[in-house]
Amino acid sequence: MTRASPKPAELVIRWGPGRSTGEGVPMAFATSHEALPRVDAYGSTQAQTIKRGVLAMYMAHPFPQWSTEERARRLAFEICRYKFLGLDQVLPGARLIEVGCGTGMRTMGAARHFGVREFVGLDHSRASLDVARRVADEDGFTRFTPVEGDLFNIPYDDGAFDVVVSWGVLHHTPDPWRGFQEMVRVCRPGGFVALYLYNKYNHWRHNLQKNRVSRLAGEDFEKRFAIAHRLYGTTPVERMTPEEVAYFYDKYCHPHKSDHTYGEVLSRFDQLDLTPWGSFPPTELRDAIGYIQFRDTLQDRFPLRTALSRRLAAAVRWLPRFDGGHPPYKRPSVAHRFFWQGVLAWMGRNGEYSDGSAFCARKPDRG
Ligand SMILES: C[S@@+](CC[C@H](N)C(=O)[O-])C[C@H]1O[C@@H](n2cnc3c(N)ncnc32)[C@H](O)[C@@H]1O
């Protein structure tokens, strides 16, 4: 990155692309519902409709909305995530960007825990970034830079980041793999890209429910909320926490999503000449056991919350230690993928959503 670093926690509106044209070329990043980025990804009316709808929803309902206590509890999951993606040794001192960071709550604690040099949170929803900035201020985390921009046109130079991550975002865009290519672009040679996408096998029941809501309510996400709550809500609206409300919108009211498979992610890595580095939750059986063992070691600070997780931890304690593995972790075989397809389908039987693994890959070091 050749431009001066912005002051921590100040919202930066980037004008891009700045790759071949240098700085400050006004490309109209979406700073309102009316302004659309003029990049090919939004060339069609359908793509523009998706962009507007997604932006409108996250302007109205930033995601996620966790209490301070919930954020602290979830840090254990993030510590495990970065270990089994093979990034725990890479993050200290690294420059990290989260593409579609939302309220930044998922990554902020991990960025601090691992001691990154800078954590850039890019999102097109200014409302979400306002929350992220507040969270950084509350936590006294000064190495956070919120950037308002579109992920199809990340306003940074090629190779600007050591680590580029995106959790649960690309499947809400008209062209997830184009978005991924843009992530790879801003990753330095020898750096790392990681992503989580919705899983096709996990979502069979959820899709039936979501389609029903859309059929009954049409496009309006507030109407969708009312219908979805009538059909699937378990707590009266007035008693729902901000976290539950944000999840409900994200789950049932979303204007657009696509579902993907592990095989698809791995073949995109191959196409872009990326080396698979790790997955989380780990897709390889020994690493999956290693994850449960490693999580068990964090219990002093982060007690396990469910009876099932405590039982699992107890069950694997007597096995040899599998949690000392180093990246690159083993690529899941076809048999492993097949196994997880079954597990994910089973996990989705009640309409739960958003299960499945994140994957990390390393960009070739050409230098
Ligand atoms: C489901 S939320 C995920 C937030 C965060 N990554 C997390 O896991 O908690 C999706 C986020 O992606 C952002 N997003 C969607 N499309 C985007 C785009 N084209 N450019 C930038 N951000 C986008 C949304 O505004 C929203 O904050």
Q: Ligand 1 center to residue 91 CA distance, Å?
A: 22
pLDDT at 13: 61
Is there a domain that residue 319 lies in?
Answer: no
Cis, bond preceding 62 (omega within 30 deg of 0): no
Average pLDDT, integer, range 323-333: 91
Q: Ligand 1 center to residue 286 CA distance, Å?
A: 32
Lowest-confidence region among 27-36, 131-140, 333-342: 27-36
Is there a domain that residue 60 lies in?
Answer: yes
For every residue of 110-149, DSSP letters joined together read HHHHHT-SEEEEEES-HHHHHHHHHHHHHHT-TTEEEEE-
* Pocket lined around ligand 1, Cβ cut-off 6 Å: 54, 58, 63-64, 100-102, 106, 123-125, 128, 150-151, 167-169, 172-173, 250
Is there a domain that residue 99 lies in?
Answer: yes
Instruction: Please name the residue whose Cα sits nearest to atom 8 of ligand 1.
Output: 167
pLDDT at 43: 81
Comparing 160 with 366, which gets the higher pLDDT?
160
Instruction: Please name the residue whose Cα sits nearest to atom 13 of ligand 1.
Output: 100
Question: With 70 as the cut, is the pLDDT of residue 23 above it?
Answer: no
Q: Ligand 1 center to residue 310 CA distance, Å?
A: 32
Atom of ligand 1 nearest to the CA of 250: 1
Q: What is the pLDDT of residues 38-79, one digit of tens each?
A: 456 788 889 999 999 999 999 999 999 999 999 999 999 999
Domain enclosing residue 78, as ranges: 1-284+329-367
Is there a domain that residue 309 lies in?
Answer: no
Mean pLDDT rounded to a whole number for the chain: 90
Report the distance separating Cα 363 and Cα 116, nearest Å: 19
Query: What letter does residue 29 receive in the DSSP assignment?
Result: -
Name, in order, each residue with C-beta under 8 angstroms of 127's C-beta and a sequence gap of 6 or more. 58, 59, 60, 62
Is there a domain that residue 11 lies in?
Answer: yes
Is there a domain that residue 93 lies in?
Answer: yes
Q: What is the pLDDT of residues 116-159, one digit of tens each?
A: 999 999 999 999 999 999 999 999 999 999 999 999 999 999 99
Is there a domain that residue 220 lies in?
Answer: yes
Atom of ligand 1 nearest to the CA of 59: 25
Is there a domain that residue 305 lies in?
Answer: no
Q: Ligand 1 center to residue 138 CA distance, Å?
A: 22
Q: Ligand 1 center to residue 102 CA distance, Å?
A: 5
pLDDT at 7: 44
Q: What is the pLDDT of residues 148-201, one digit of tens each?
A: 999 999 999 999 999 999 999 999 999 999 999 999 999 999 999 999 999 999
Average pLDDT, integer, range 305-318: 95
Overall number of domains in the chain: 1
Q: What CATH number does the domain containing 224 carry? A: 3.40.50.150
Whether pTM > 0.85 for this model: the answer is yes
For tokens 């990290």, what's the residue? 96
Question: With 50 as the cut, is the pLDDT of residue 35 above it?
Answer: no
Atom of ligand 1 nearest to the CA of 166: 6
